Structure 1
Amino acid sequence: MTALSGRDARLIHDLAKAILTEPRPVHVWPLLMERLTTDLPVDLAVLIDVDWKSGTGHALTGKPDWLHKAPLDSLIDAHMRAHPLLRHYAHTADRTPLALDEMADDRWWKSEAYHAGKTAIGIDRQLVLPLSSRAGQVRGVIMSRGGHGFTDRDLEYAGLARSLLDTVSAHETVTLGIPRLGDPEEYGITSREMAVLALLNEGLTARAIAKKLHIAEKTVIKHKENLYRKLRVHDRVAVLNKSRALGLLPQNHPHGEG
């Protein structure tokens, strides 16, 4: 496999920086879809969530903007089981980015599913960047381009981007589950710090939080230090108590805080 060039390394660096500096979590995924379309480049990128058992799926966001008017959910529901890569990820633990050309045979290129997608949104060659998900679920980014397939360089870039997107997904899962009345931004607390705070509230250690959020343990410790400084406290018990008082965390706490 060909090593990434200096330019590609800068693209990955800039992608990571964009993720870390975006203050509004709701804007991160559209930003990522736009960056993927320009960095690879591809004609379109769509974040999907598929439940294989029920045979349903949703397109959560995508670029370019005209995709929001396309019948993506109906395409996914009607043809997901025929898609070689979705079928592969639904039935294996493999989360390596793969190009459709590696998995598809003549049956795919002649199938109703392929022609329906090509007619509706112009899909041709595809690369899927799968994210961590539970068994029977496929969550990831489908990227498409016309005319030519994906190179080793594209696959290597996708592999590096995958780890960044997995981190975003893990933080999103935690932060969306936090019921709160207070506004973290009022205290300068970022969404990533809120994810750490919520997991501290569950009694997790720094090592366990790092594993859950796909980040380094030293990064968790840095987030904890930032939380203590911003809320003007000096330990874990105090930061949780003050967060509840401010409405950043629910009043009931599931674990002891010895």
Structure 2
Amino acid sequence: MSFPVPRAPLRVLLADDHGIVLEGLKMVLTGMPAAIGAIDEAATGEQALALLAAHGADLLVLDLGMPGVSGSNWVRALRASYPALRIIVLTANTDERTRAAVLEAGADDYLAKTGNSQALLAAIARQAAAPARARTPQAALPEVPAETLTPREQQVLALAALGATAAQIAQDLHISPFTARKHRENLMRKLALHNTAELVAYAMRLGLPTA
């Protein structure tokens, strides 16, 4: 199989919580020596975000089920923060609804770990050949430090980032659903956030767990 050579070697971030999988992925990438440059490794969602913030990446190969990564909201928030990043999800989850949700959230490809290395190489080749995306974030995240939020707002932020509804937040915090909705509205207004994806992206930047 021949591969397109990008204008510059791709910086790749491999994110998987199994060391033997990471070693295997690195061996697979040796089949594209002209296309692959530096390779970083992460075993948790938090480590992946820290490496992206520190070094950036052109391509992320992501295990959807590793610690700190759960579901399409995480992918959507990642896409909002890093619009130019190419995201290939490599997972043991073969559920079609999950696949559709993750692709809709912004992943570029969704591969099952039951596949072979040629499928992964072909997916990487497609991303290497794809036109570059603009690097400007879809929406600038607020610069409001978390310390300026009230303790209750911080609690609401943490729960909302996990996908909790107003009713679930109310139950967890022992407040009324109306009060929970008002706290969430005040939080979104203070942070100048417009939707759940931006809220999750802000929580990710703070290092909070997200759904």
Relative to the length of structure 1, the TM-score reads: 0.24
Relative to its length, the structure with more helix (as a share) is 1
Computing the radius of gyration over CA atoms, which structure comes out larger, 1 or 2? 1
